[in-house]
Chains A and B, each alone.
Chain A
Amino acid sequence: MIRTILGFPLLLLFAGSAQAAWEVNLPQGVTEISREVYDLHMIIFWICVAIGVVVFGAMLWSVIYHRKSRGAKAHNFHENVVVEIIWTIIPFFILIAMAVPATATLIKMYDNSESELDIQITGYQWKWRYQYLGEDVDFFSSLSTPREQINNSEEKGEHYLLEVDNPLVIPAGKKVRFLLTANDVIHSWWVPELAVKKDAIPGFINEAWVIVDQPGTYRGQCAELCGKDHGFMPVVVEVKPQAEYDAWLAEVKQADKAASEAALKTWNLADLMETGEQVYAKACLACHQTNGEGIPGAFPALKNSPIALGEPGPHIDIVLNGKTGTAMQAYRDQLSAVELAAVITYERNAWGNKVGDIVTPAQIAKLKE
């Protein structure tokens, strides 16, 4: 805290240097709806300002002119039915004027016309899963900002905390429908520039839609408190022209195929350990920590744990299938066979755990089918 207090004057000196850091308003966004929302926001803002000027003006007038030190004498009025009725009715009409455009926009948002692409979005603690319905494309999207930047040991990048490994890619100019649900707790999928924020609720399905005309990259975040790393599950949407989108789709399908082929080749311990360490940093480190010691009372240690030191069977089971009633998720669908084999091997042979055995990708691929 002392450091923070000492930091104040320094900050005030350098504050001016960061550009765009003084953003004060909603983004206009890139969809028809988002622009309507922005206009609505501005209309209501200016109405509030106008009311504020009148009310605070009257108050300031009294404070300046009706003060005792100026010799003001108190008048003796204390009610006036006509005035009181007037200032009950006028706000009522102002509210109706606000409600009309708001209702129109809301009805537009609930439009249920045909969409050209449906994407199922599932919230996980603490990542998003995107499934392109009818396309057999299915991937997870999690934070790609390195831990070192978060812990301040490295310079922070331009898109600090708003960058992911696999962004959601959608075609421009097409109506895309999102079907939102969650795997564990409630999350909320939000991209300000698309004006879409919808809760993802376990067991239930919600929908939202967008038509984005302008290709580009749009960033957002999870908006509903969902546990420890709620602040670290961004949403990145890349909007591409149809041709580029088609190329991307083909590429993803190709990569999936390559990954399943990689599982069939032979892996040695060193290679698995190397891949395993990367996978561990991405998927496990948040809870089990860098040193594998976990957080006592919240997340168990892997170092010297009976599961990591025992037979491979139960270890594979808990990683693939998770553990009911705890924060341990099922990673069966989240990681590829190679990644799973590597991370399990890593956990069995890191931080002084020395089992020495290898869990092969082929073995996992068989379990995953």
Chain B
Amino acid sequence: MNAPRNHKRTVTTLILGCVLMFGFGFALVPLYDVFCRVTGLNGKVELVPAHPEKLGQVDKTRQVKLQLVAVNNETMPWRFKPENSIVELSPGEMYQTAYIARNLTSGFMIAQAVPSVSPSEAAPYLNKINCFCFERQPLLAQEEKAMPLVLSVDPELPKHIHTITLSYTLFDITPESEQVAAIGGGSLR
């Protein structure tokens, strides 16, 4: 029997397997992202602009209800509202609107808006041409700003979908150094 040598091969293969699976765990992160974008799983939508020239014809035969929702995450004390909360639009039609945000605190803050679409099946058909969620949004104390949003619904949208809800959740991503500076400066935050 040639056991020791066998062991070496077995053990090496198995350890390699472990390392691969550890890597696979991490690979699941981008894989999941790709999977979500393709299937719209979890209502995730593209964080990069769609190409306007690729948009199809306007489909005047039907109307889709687009519902715009604003959510503040915990400890996000801004006022945050959509300019219009419900609009009817035809697939293919370009629609321009905005969310109004106001920093109610007496300190500088930076926010990141995270979009989500329901039903998730509709997510791949919502093209955002310009969105404030593409970049972080800094606001000075008490500053108010209209944050632009330009989008259209893909005419390929399945016929049984009548309502699309697009929500933005605002998260506070002010770096800690900014917070410390603000407090050190004698302001509230």
Direct contact of A and B (CB under 8 A): yes
Q: Which residues of A are in contact with B by a Cβ distance under 8 Å? A: 110, 112-115, 118, 120, 122, 124, 133-134, 177, 179, 181, 183-184, 202-207, 313-314, 316-317, 320-324, 328-330, 332-333, 367-369
Q: Does B96 contact A (CB under 8 A)?
A: no
Nearest-Cβ distance from residue B37 to partner chain A, whole angstroms? 14
Give the docked Cα–Cα distance between A124 and B74 (Å): 8
A323 touches B71 (CB 8 A): no
- Give the distance in Å from the alpha carbon of A324 to the alpha carbon of B75 in the complex: 6
Check B73 against A321 for contact (C-beta < 8 Å).
no
> Is A181's CB under 8 angstroms from B71's CB?
yes
Report whether over half of chain B's contact residues are helix, strand or loop; otherwise say mixed. mixed
Are A120's CB and B69's CB within 8 A?
yes
Q: Please determine whether A330 and B77 come into contact, CB atoms closer than 8 angstroms.
A: yes
* Tier of interface size on chain B: 35 or more
Bound CA–CA A112/B158 (angstroms): 11
Q: Which chain B residue has the least Cβ–Cβ distance from A113?
A: B162
Q: How many angstroms between the C-alpha atoms of A271 and B43 in the bound complex? A: 48
Using known A-B contacts A133-B85, A134-B85, A322-B77, determine if residue A122 contacts B163 with beta carbons closer than 8 Å: no
CB B116 to nearest CB in A, in angstroms, measures: 4
User: A332 CA to B76 CA in the complex, in Å?
Assistant: 10
User: Which residues of A have CB within 8 Å of B106?
Assistant: 317
Interfacial chain A residues near B79, Cβ < 8 Å: 369
Evaluate contact between A203 and B77: CB separation under 8 angstroms.
no
- The answer to whether A112 and B160 have CB atoms under 8 Å apart is yes
Q: How far is the CA of A3 from the CA of B43 in the complex (A)?
A: 51
A321 adjacent to B165 (CB under 8 Å)? no
A329 to B76, CA, bound (A): 9
**Bound CA span A179–B189, Å:** 32
Determine if B75 and A179 form an interchain contact, defined as CB atoms under 8 angstroms apart: no
Q: Which of A115, A314, A320 contacts B77 (CB 8 A)?
A: A320
- Per the 8 Å Cβ criterion, residues 92-132 of B in contact with A are 104-106, 114, 116-119, 121
10 chain-A/chain-B pairs, Cβ below 8 angstroms: A112-B161, A120-B69, A124-B74, A184-B74, A203-B171, A204-B169, A321-B104, A322-B74, A322-B77, A332-B104
Q: Does B154 contact A (CB under 8 A)?
A: no
Task: Answer yes or no: B179 CB below 8 A from chain A CBs.
Answer: yes
Task: Evaluate contact between B119 and A207: CB separation under 8 angstroms.
Answer: yes
> Which of A203, A205, A313 contacts B117, CB < 8 Å?
A205
